[in-house]
Amino acid sequence: MKKIARVLPPILVLTAIGSGAGWWHYHHSTPDGLLTVYGNVDLRQASVPFNGTERIAEVLVEEGHLVHQGQLLARLDTSRLQPQLEQSIAAVEAQKAVVERLHNGNRPEEIAQARANLVSAKADAENTNAQYLRRKALVSISAVSQQDVDVAKAADDVAIAKVAVAQKALELEVIGPRAEDIAQAEAQLHGNEAQLALLRQQLADAELRAPFDAVVRSRLMEPGEMASPSKPVFSLATLGTKWVRAYVPESNLGQLHEGEQAKINIDSLPDRSLEGWVGFISPVAEFTPKAVQTEDLRTSLVYEVRIFVTDTNNVLRLGMPATVQIMTEASKSASTAPAQ
């Protein structure tokens, strides 16, 4: 028993050393020098809401559906928005007619009418002036009263004023609209057009379309619910960019460089590897003290690494565990060195 007691501790120490060396070798390197890391599949996701506040009329896709960029996903109720749009269209058309009329100026017929009014006013003025002169001549022989003379004089003055009014009216018809009136009408037209553009945009926002090719992960709202920009209707996962998020110890960080090739293996496809490359190496350590004070603490530094994957068949799913073998510079040198 004493001999066993003396032999057992060294055996345990050697076993522990061997197990630790094997764990380190399995998790960080392979015989050909490949760096092996473990992580989980990650991908870009988007929560897609409507850009307006209204009741949902239709939801057109289900969870798991493959959707393409621009595809219609859901639609809002537009029963109140459509009449406003038609009213705005009518206001724009009416204001366009006003601006066009002001730019064209007065028609020749309107100018001719103003000239005719001036001629008529002059004729009336000549007639009333003649009556006044006749009565003024007869008052000396008491043929008419002074009151009749005064009435004729007033009528003559009114006729002369009407001539002046008709003359100014003709001048305004010839000159045409004022520049300020045209500017005011154009500004009003721009305001009406802006209101129309806003209503058209609101009508377009009533349709929720896919921002990119994706898979519908979650359908979060149903017809009849009140949508708003703060309430996502769908959760979408992209089909394009996927990567494996892994962590590398500080001691292996010097072996990695952006762009290095990698092979990704997942449990569901044990006999098949996906091609990838190192696309991101974090410049900041994680899960470590803010300041490293001792040499021992340096070994606990880990850095996030993203290995981007070419997944043309869409076999990778969010959170799926993956094993990644990265071909470092050391492995490349080992593969090209002559056999000893």
With a cut of 60, say whether residue 299 has pLDDT above it: no
With a cut of 70, say whether residue 226 has pLDDT above it: yes
Provide the phi-psi class of 65: left if phi over 0, else alpha when psi is between -120 and 50, else beta.
Answer: beta
Q: Per the confidence metrics, is the pTM higher than 0.75?
A: no
With a cut of 70, say whether residue 1 has pLDDT above it: no
Q: How confident is the model at residue 18 (pLDDT cuts 50, 70, 90)?
A: very low
With a cut of 60, say whether residue 73 has pLDDT above it: yes
Q: How confident is the model at residue 16 (pLDDT cuts 50, 70, 90)?
A: very low
Residue 294 or residue 104, greater confidence: 104
Q: What is the pLDDT of residue 203?
A: 94
Residue 27 or residue 199, greater confidence: 199
Q: Which long-range contacts (CB under 8 A, 24 or more apart) does 264-273 make?
A: 264/307, 264/309, 264/322, 264/323, 264/324, 265/322, 265/323, 265/324, 265/325, 266/41, 266/315, 266/316, 266/320, 266/321, 266/322, 266/323, 267/321, 268/315, 268/320, 269/315
With a cut of 70, say whether residue 197 has pLDDT above it: yes
Q: How confident is the model at residue 184 (pLDDT cuts 50, 70, 90)?
A: very high
Residue 135 to residue 30: CA distance in whole angstroms = 133
Mean pLDDT of the chain: 80
Number of H helices, E strands in the chain: 6, 12
Q: Which fold has domain 46-77+207-234?
A: OB fold (Dihydrolipoamide Acetyltransferase, E2P) (2.40.50)
Residue 136 or residue 14, greater confidence: 136
Q: How confident is the model at residue 289 (pLDDT cuts 50, 70, 90)?
A: very low
Interval 135-148: pLDDT, tens: 777 766 767 777 87
With a cut of 70, say whether residue 23 has pLDDT above it: no
Q: Where are the domains of the chain?
A: 31-43+240-332, 46-77+207-234, 84-200
pLDDT, mean of residues 242-253: 84
One-letter amino acid identity for 123?
A
Residue 108 or residue 11, greater confidence: 108
Q: How confident is the model at residue 271 (pLDDT cuts 50, 70, 90)?
A: confident
Q: What kind of architecture, by CATH, is found in domain 31-43+240-332?
A: Beta Barrel (2.40)
Q: What is the pLDDT of residue 88?
A: 95
Angle at 171 between CA 117 and CA 121, to 5 degrees: 25
With a cut of 90, say whether residue 21 has pLDDT above it: no
